[in-house]
Amino acid sequence: MANKPARFLNFKCAKCSKSVQVRLQKVSACTHLQPYQGICDCGELRRHATGDKTAVEAFVATGEIHHHHHH
């Protein structure tokens, strides 16, 4: 997959079902994760990420970007 990540994506808020815009966060040279984050009008934080499955799950769960520990 050589898709360039979109800078903005839209999701429905889990709480109020309004549309939430999430923005691509700055990442390091490692491109195994493209993290997105945004906040709904109701204050609910919305996280999304694409890329490595483990890194995506860790980011969505904790908001932390895990870098490679095994170079």
Contact 60, 47 (CB under 8 A): yes
Pattern of binders to Zn ion over 52-71, x per CB under 5 A?
Answer: --------------------
Q: Which of 13, 33, 55, 56 binds Zn ion (CB under 5 A)?
A: 13
Q: Classify residue 8 by burial, with Cβ atoms within 10 Å: 0-12, 13-18, 19+.
A: exposed
Contact 26, 48 (CB under 8 A): no
Q: Which of 22, 33, 40, 49 binds Zn ion (CB under 5 A)?
A: 40
Q: Which residues form the interface with Zn ion (CB under 5 A)?
A: 13, 15-16, 18, 40, 42, 44
